[in-house]
Structure 1
Amino acid sequence: MNKVKTQIPYFTLLILMVCCLGCGSKTEVTETESVPTGGFQSFQIDLKGDKKPFVDLIQSIEITRLEETEESLLGYVGQVEFHEDRMIIPDNKGTFYIYSKTGEFLNKFNHKGEGPEEYSGLTDIWLENGLIGIHNSGKSINRYDLEGNFISRERLDERAAHVHPYKSGYALDKNTRYTQDSLMFSLVTLDDQMKLDKTFLPFDKSPVSQVAFSPSTLSTLGNDLLYLRMMSDTVYRVTADSAVPFIHYDFQEDWYFQPGIEEVTGSVYEAASRKEQVWFMYSHIGQNYIYLYTTLGPRKNYAFFIDRETKQSVSIESKTSTGERLDLSPIRWNGDQFLISLRSSHLTDLLDQLDQEQSSFTEGTTLEEIESSENPVLVSVKFK
């Protein structure tokens, strides 16, 4: 007909601040025949192909307001976690907003600080047995209930770029750091005692870059753990004893890390931008579809919608009817529906381009309330 909205404000800002030295990942696998969506797949991605307006990809949308009060002013929504009848929305200042599933504001909390029951930063966030789990800037894993009460804290002996629950322990992205001071593995797992368990994807050169990018390199698909390490074009699926190639994004000559480029002698970001080649990407992988985001530099970002069964990909043009960039943020797949957040003023423009029967509102949501609010809205998109 696809780390992603074509431009992502907080991520673009992060990119502009980053100037890093590092070892780039070469293309790690080659094109294969089409296989079922449960096995390895490689997708050819064409940066030079025609773009299709985002609105033309939509079959239907369901809209949920996020109630605006003096206590719930949201500037940006990039992550939503669901538990029973609640939604948990973190912001980049350390505040967690708790909403009902229909968008009523319930409460919020912020425990940012340096105390034993606080967090200095929110590197990764997840839900774990009904509790909010936080990877606290490489220092610890903190847990809180949905009322904001501190539950527990586990110290991390291994600093990591990203952390994600895995089986009874955790998976750690170590692509930019040594493990136990000398071991060189991109991905490791910890057991339920927080001790080193398995190691995956060895590398033979010291990690020069110490930059950790947001969003996370670790994600899940069903019961599978997926890993897309920084500056790589291959998503790995972690099994009991190995990390195997699962998804490959084939940009051909538009991929910066061509064979023979072993080490970057200058800024990856600057060099790739000059050549207008992809050097960074992330993706939201669903059972049947993928939403892929790539960056070539400032204002050179691309998003693609990929059908995993047909292997067809479409470059998305995310603009309003007046040509303004459509300010949407990708969040997650829920089955075949993709959840995004959208600036409330841009929702009106999107609705004007859709037929009336293509849109619906969750209980308690009205267009009048959305138009009078500055909070983003949640939009669940079903693609054609």
Structure 2
Amino acid sequence: MKRVDVILAIFLIIATGCGGNKKSNSSNNNTSTVATQDTFITVDVSKKYPLKELILQDIMDVEYIPLESTDEFLCQGVVQAIGKEIILVKNVINDGDIFIFDRNGKGLRKFNRKGQGSEEYIFNLSVFLDEDKGEIYVDEVIRNVLVYDLYGNFLRNIHRDKVKWINASNYNSDFLIARESPSAQKGKDTDNQLFVLISKQNGNVVKDFRIYFEKKIEWGITNHAGNTGAAPRPYPIIPYHDGWLLMEPSSDTIFRISQDYSLSPFMARTPSIQSMKPAVFLLPCIFTDRYHFMETITMEANFLRNEGFPKTQLVYDKKENTLFEYIMLNKDFPEKGLVNFTMQETTNSEIAFWQKMEPHELIEAYAKGQLKGKLKDIAAELQEDSNPVIMLVKYRKVTL
């Protein structure tokens, strides 16, 4: 394993040109430059690491929320945001419904503003929350971000003007954070990825950050027929304690942006992504006080068999200074392992991620005696047509 090594990490940044040395990581007078960070991890993605089994409840706190099931509140349970008091949920199908539950799973209200009007959304592809302001943001991706209050009343439009940004998240009370759409870079000879802070009031870009790289490495692969494999998409903007991590797959470095807008290297990978064929990407996932969870994904696929893009789940233990592969098990449902941690926007710094648990799966597991604790009690009350149960996984404060 590569130990935490400042000299090696700095060498990687200089050698690969992946940020901050040959070019500024900001593009106007308002933007931030790369700050110095004492230490960060370097991960060798070509190395085989020992496998370890982890128990979810040994690392984090777990809460189960059965979403109330009534004629008005039947839904597919696609959680969009979790605040301190409410949960926003939508359906997989594009029906426009947005459900609001309290933190115990009781249905409070729902609204639907799908339509062609200026105060309506064609698609509610992504929904996020500013609970303190009582505002819900619906991102159509192809057009605008529409802002509503908690009752579905229209407040304003946030327009995409000069920068065609996507992957928006709630940065703080004043700004959204997003990245420039890759489609806006097509046909251009670019060596950087732009990230922006956007005013929630008028959509103006107030700050920007750039991650530089040698050349763009495409996400996915293309077969001889010209079809691109549907590799799972990375999360380019990841919450991290009081700040955010910014990831560009073509760079060898993941950067951290703090609430004071400083940008610094956080994690490096080796070998360089620019040298690997097939490409092996390193994707950050969940970061606790002790553990850094991540995964690698290899750009290999068999189109005829619909197979490919193998993944490896990795975790770095800060206390033991070791890196290993892991299998994560839920002690309340040990027959079903957690394949990996997934990143979502929660609008709640206490929550790492959530997982949707389908009623039919829980009912079957209950009948087989595979469930324990609170989850077993919840499953005993479920019906086949019940709403999903949401498992919340919450950070646990530890001292190293």
TM-score by length of 1: 0.65
Verify the 8 A CA contact 1:134 1:141 in the aligned structure 2: yes
Q: Is residue 245 from structure 1 mapped to residue 265 from structure 2 by the alignment?
A: yes
> Aligned AA for 1:367?
A
Q: Is residue 162 from structure 1 mapped to residue 170 from structure 2 by the alignment?
A: no
2:234 and 2:136 map into 1 onto residues whose CA distance is 17
1:224 and 1:187 map into 2 onto residues whose CA distance is 14
1:172 and 1:59 map into 2 onto residues whose CA distance is 28
CA-based RMSD of the aligned residues comes to 4.5
Q: Tell me: CA distance 1:145–1:243, structure 2 relative to 1, closer, same or farther (3 Å).
A: same
What percentage of residue pairs aligned between the two structures are identical? Answer: 19
Deviates more, 1:345-354 or 1:281-290: 345-354
Q: Tell me: CA distance 1:173–1:260, structure 2 relative to 1, closer, same or farther (3 Å).
A: same
Q: Is residue 171 from structure 1 mapped to residue 191 from structure 2 by the alignment?
A: no
2:206 to 197, 201, 207: 197
1:226 and 1:193 map into 2 onto residues whose CA distance is 25
Q: Which one has a bigger Cα radius of gyration?
A: 2
State the partner residue of 1:360. Answer: 374
Verify the 8 A CA contact 2:354 2:390 in the aligned structure 1: yes
What 5-or-longer segments of structure 1 have no aligned partner? 1-24, 30-37, 262-270
> Aligned AA for 1:224?
G
Q: Deviations over 1:274-295 (max 9, x none)?
A: xxx6336341334444443443
State the partner residue of 1:20. Answer: none
> Aligned AA for 1:378?
I
Q: Tell me: CA distance 1:123–1:205, structure 2 relative to 1, closer, same or farther (3 Å).
A: farther
Q: Tell me: CA distance 1:279–1:206, structure 2 relative to 1, closer, same or farther (3 Å).
A: closer
> Aligned AA for 2:381?
E
Q: Deviations over 1:68-115 (max 9, x none)?
A: 33444444535332253x211233434322112111223322333332
1:91-130 map, 5 Å: 91-92=91-92, 93=94, 94-128=96-130, 129-130=133-134
Q: Quick one: higher RCO (CA 8 Å, sep 6+), 1 or 2?
A: 1
Deviates more, 1:226-235 or 1:208-217: 208-217
SS at match of 1:116: coil
State the partner residue of 1:151. Answer: 155
1:282-361 map, 5 Å: 282-296=284-298, 298=308, 300-317=310-327, 330=342, 331=344, 335=350, 339-347=354-362, 349=365, 359-360=373-374
2:122 and 2:217 map into 1 onto residues whose CA distance is 25
Verify the 8 A CA contact 1:303 1:315 in the aligned structure 2: yes
Verify the 8 A CA contact 1:232 1:280 in the aligned structure 2: no
> Aligned AA for 2:392?
S
> Aligned AA for 1:170?
L
Verify the 8 A CA contact 1:175 1:229 in the aligned structure 2: no
SS at match of 1:225: strand
Q: Tell me: CA distance 1:300–1:318, structure 2 relative to 1, closer, same or farther (3 Å).
A: farther
1:134 to 135, 138, 156: 138
TM-score by length of 2: 0.63
Q: Tell me: CA distance 1:150–1:378, structure 2 relative to 1, closer, same or farther (3 Å).
A: same
SS at match of 2:115: coil
Deviates more, 1:184-193 or 1:51-60: 51-60
What 5-or-longer segments of structure 2 have no aligned partner? 1-14, 20-36, 221-230, 301-307
State the partner residue of 2:70. Answer: 69
* Number of equivalenced pairs: 327
Deviation of the 1:234 alpha carbon: 3.6
